[in-house]
């Protein structure tokens, strides 16, 4: 689920040709398809499965769909307007629908991407374009989480989905899914919880569309802020510290992802309940290594960033720390 803009390098002419072929109607088509697939995902998440498709199930999926498109759109248009500010030719977002696949963890979308059709001339422009998306997406995620916790339904909402929720046998003989906690998500739970109020555990969050999407928005933000290659985090770290430090930080990050995947596999097969890793990180690490690459492409005009940009960059690093989950999914 890659939410990033693409720096024009050797394939600039190819990208320009592809982008020119796509009219605004193509972007609208992708948007519409993503709206449909996220509606279906929302129906599935909130009701623990789709028994029938009708107006009621459609309305169940609507808050999820609108929320996730809201976050993705904020993220991508953060990149888009920053690119326009620096007079970099950029496309409108290409939304990426993801159809439901039985037995596959599905959020209804793989995010979105914009493409730049002219070269980014200096690291200041690179920084602004790179950092604008995650910060915009982070703010949108906070808005969705605040809505989710401010209008949290009573326990009756969950009991309508799982009447046996308080039964001692609840969850037995079924595959269970638990979302991984983050520092920020835990903080929100603490400040919004009231005495006697039911706060859903992380194993039931996905039934609550705003909490589910808010959590997913933080996951998207954190994954994009990994300081690797041409991810947003790679753009930010490269622009702040230069090529050598970016390569060092990127390499350490890749080693960290591999170690988290190893601990995830050990936990899964030995049942040690370490809860500090996830096997899926190895897939993400391989995608980064072979597709995104570890090193960031060189920018011709590189100059130290001013203090304001440096401050924003460190703020983005804090966002990453608050939003990252070493074990985003726990399935048992």
Over the stretch 189-226, which tens digit does the pLDDT of each residue have? Answer: 999 888 888 999 999 999 999 999 999 999 999 999 99
Average pLDDT of the chain?
89
- What is the pTM for the complete model shown? 0.90
Stronger pLDDT, 129 or 105, i.e. the higher one: 129
Q: Residue 94: enclosing H or E segment and its boundaries?
A: strand 94-97
Q: Where are the domains of the chain?
A: 5-331
> DSSP 3-state helix, strand, coil percentages of the chain (rounded to 5)?
60, 5, 35
Tokens of 228: 């690797």
The reported pLDDT for the residue numbered 14 is 41
**Average pLDDT value for residue range 305-317:** 98
* Phi and psi, residue 83, nearest 5°: -65, -45
Over the stretch 148-179, which tens digit does the pLDDT of each residue have? Answer: 999 999 999 999 988 999 998 887 877 788 99
The reported pLDDT for the residue numbered 51 is 61
Stronger pLDDT, 300 or 246, i.e. the higher one: 246
Over the stretch 90-106, which tens digit does the pLDDT of each residue have? Answer: 999 999 999 877 667 78
Stronger pLDDT, 171 or 69, i.e. the higher one: 69
Residues with Cβ within 8 Å of residue 247, at least 6 apart in sequence: 294, 295, 296
Over the stretch 8-53, which tens digit does the pLDDT of each residue have? Answer: 333 344 444 545 556 889 999 999 999 999 999 999 888 766 666 7
Polymer length of the chain = 332
pLDDT band at 269 (very low <50, low <70, confident <90, very high): confident
Numbers of helices and strands, H then E, in the chain: 11, 5
Burial label, 221 (beta-carbon count in 10 A; 0-12, 13-18, 19+): buried
The reported pLDDT for the residue numbered 255 is 97
Sheet with strand 94-97: strands edge to edge: 5-6, 109-115, 94-97
The reported pLDDT for the residue numbered 111 is 93
* Phi and psi, residue 17, nearest 5°: -65, -45
Residue 270 scores a pLDDT above 60: yes
Among 35-49, 56-70, 307-321, the minimum mean pLDDT is found in 35-49
Local structure of 110: helix, strand or coil: strand
The reported pLDDT for the residue numbered 49 is 63
CB 254 within 8 A of CB 228: yes
The reported pLDDT for the residue numbered 247 is 97
The reported pLDDT for the residue numbered 294 is 94
Q: How far apart are CA 276 and CA 257, in angstroms?
A: 11
**Average pLDDT value for residue range 254-262:** 96
- SS3 annotation, 7-43: CCCCCHHHHHHHHHHCCHHHHHHHHHHHHHHHHHHHH
Burial label, 259 (beta-carbon count in 10 A; 0-12, 13-18, 19+): middle
């Amino acid at each position: 689920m890659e939410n990033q803009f693409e720096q024009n390098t050797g394939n600039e002419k190819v990208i320009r040709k592809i982008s020119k072929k796509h009219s605004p109607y193509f972007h609208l088509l992708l948007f519409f398809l993503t709206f449909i697939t996220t509606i279906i995902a929302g129906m599935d998440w909130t009701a623990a499965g789709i028994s029938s498709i009708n107006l009621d199930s459609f309305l169940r999926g609507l808050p999820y769909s609108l929320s996730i498109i809201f976050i993705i759109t904020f993220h991508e248009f953060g990149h888009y307007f920053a690119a326009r500010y620096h007079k970099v030719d950029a496309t409108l977002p290409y939304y990426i629908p993801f159809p439901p696949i039985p037995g596959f963890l599905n959020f209804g979308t793989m995010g979105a991407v914009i493409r730049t059709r002219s070269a980014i001339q200096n690291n200041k422009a690179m920084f602004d374009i790179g950092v604008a998306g995650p910060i915009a997406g982070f703010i949108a995620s906070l808005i969705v989480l605040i809505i989710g916790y401010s209008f949290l339904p009573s326990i009756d909402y969950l009991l309508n989905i799982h009447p046996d929720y308080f039964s001692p046998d609840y969850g037995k003989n079924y595959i269970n899914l638990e979302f991984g906690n983050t520092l920020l998500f835990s903080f929100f739970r603490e400040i919004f919880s009231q005495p006697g109020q039911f706060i859903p555990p992380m194993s039931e969050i996905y039934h609550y569309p705003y909490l589910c999407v808010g959590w997913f928005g933080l996951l998207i933000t954190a994954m994009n802020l990994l300081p690797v290659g041409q991810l947003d985090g790679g753009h930010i770290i490269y622009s702040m510290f230069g090529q050598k430090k970016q390569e060092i930080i990127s390499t350490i990050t890749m080693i960290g992802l591999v170690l988290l995947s190893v601990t995830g596999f050990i936990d899964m097969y030995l049942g040690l309940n370490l809860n500090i890793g996830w096997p899926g990180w190895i897939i993400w690490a391989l995608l980064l290594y072979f597709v995104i690459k570890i090193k960031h492409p060189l920018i011709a005009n590189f100059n130290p960033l001013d203090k304001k940009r440096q401050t924003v960059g460190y703020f983005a690093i804090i966002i990453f720390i608050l939003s990252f989950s070493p074990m985003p999914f726990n399935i048992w």
